[in-house]
Amino acid sequence: MTRVVVISAEPVGESMLGSAIRAYELARALAPHGEVRLAAPEGGDGTADLEFARHDARALRPLLERADFVITQPPWPHVMAELRRSPARLVFDLYDPEPLENLELLAGRRALLRRGVATLTLDRFMAALRAGEHFLCASESQRALYIGMLLGERLLPPRAYDADPTLRSRLSVVPFGVSDTPPGTPSPGPRELLDLDGELVLWNGGLWPWLDAPTAIRAVTALDRDATLLFMGGGRALEEARAVAGDHPRVVFNAGWVPYERRAAWLNQADCAISTHRDHLETRFAFRTRLLDCFWAGLPIVAAGGQDLGARDEQAHLGAPAPPGAIAATAAALERVLDRGRDAYGPALAATAEQFRWSRVVAPLVAWLQDPPPRRARSLPPQPRDVAFRAALRVLGRWPSL
């Protein structure tokens, strides 16, 4: 039986970030096809349906020694060193375009910090491209980005092209998925917990600098109707959002994070979801993973265009699009969706959710694991991109705090 270890760099359990959710759901989707173990630095609550192991780099060794395959996002160097020592074949999940995300995350911060994060993040990705035998991404636009990176690193020699001109045997599209199990009707939800009434517009993810909560706030508060904007989670852009909202009674911030297994109650009680972002490179290549839960729960979406899932809104009648940063257009899109009503979008949302079932989207990875091509040699690690920065780190003796 194929033995697979899926590694999450973030804690897995009741409350999870997107990368941990991805690792958890990939492990669950692969479990019917082999012996799968999920490893994470902390957690384990709510993972009774999986073999779970807590890990640091050294604790991974016994797991890696008996694994046939390892699936992980590009790890930090101490974990990569353990992966390189292992006999397992390495599959790197590149669904999160971190090199672009961090450019936006640290906009306006000190130059040395931004330069350092950019250097180390890109080095992690380059090391993964050299060590991996197979790669996952979330969309065709991401696939084009990573093919360009492989070309730039001279990792697409003619023999690789001749063996597979499509490169599907090296780089598969495995988007974020939705649960094969319907969301059900758990309770209590936000209306009971937060004493909310009227129409409910849900921001069902975190508040991050590469998103645009201010546009969502200004659009909802501009509506001439009893509609409340509810932010479901926190994040690094929380204070900015609070400052824009002020004490407006129709903008509500949930304290903390909604447990993963309780999210359905929040989705079921909303009338519409909203996802807005600014126009930049992260937008171009991101895959807005929290929108998948809206498909799953049959919740229509008002989303800024410019990325793969946002483009589906108008085409598949899943909600309504709005240009990035356009407050009036976003408010108008909300009016259209709320006037039409949630039930009108149900059939299209259900059909789209069916396309994104985890059991379906994981098929290219399952096929590769069951019949992988001959093992190829791992390339040498990339050389440091920024010698001056690496020297500064050695002098400082530590990584600057974010």
In the prediction, which pLDDT does 105 show?
85
Q: Nearest 5°: CA angle at 237, between 234 and 241?
A: 90
Top CATH class, 3-177+359-396: alpha beta
| Edge-to-edge order in the sheet of strand 227-231 | 251-253, 227-231, 199-203, 272-275, 301-304, 319-322
> Residue written as tokens 């508060």?
221
Right CATH number for 190-355 from 3.30.110.40, 3.20.20.70, 3.40.50.2000, 1.10.260.40? 3.40.50.2000
In the prediction, which pLDDT does 304 show?
86
Spatial distance between the Cα atoms of 246 and 240, rounded to a whole number of angstroms: 10
Q: Where in the chain is the domain with CATH 3.40.50.2000?
A: 3-177+359-396, 190-355
Spatial distance between the Cα atoms of 327 and 219, rounded to a whole number of angstroms: 5
Which residue stretches of the chain have pLDDT < 50?
Answer: 310, 313, 315, 395-402
Spatial CA neighbour of 334 closest among 213, 190, 216: 216
Cis peptide before 175 (omega within 30 of 0): no
Rounded to the nearest 10 degrees, what angle do helices 363-370 and 18-30 cross at?
50
In the prediction, which pLDDT does 401 show?
38
In the prediction, which pLDDT does 280 show?
86
Spatial distance between the Cα atoms of 181 and 70, rounded to a whole number of angstroms: 26
Q: Find how far residue 378's CA is from the centre of its chain.
A: 27
In the prediction, which pLDDT does 313 show?
47
| Edge-to-edge order in the sheet of strand 51-54 | 51-54, 35-40, 3-7, 69-72, 89-93, 134-137, 171-173
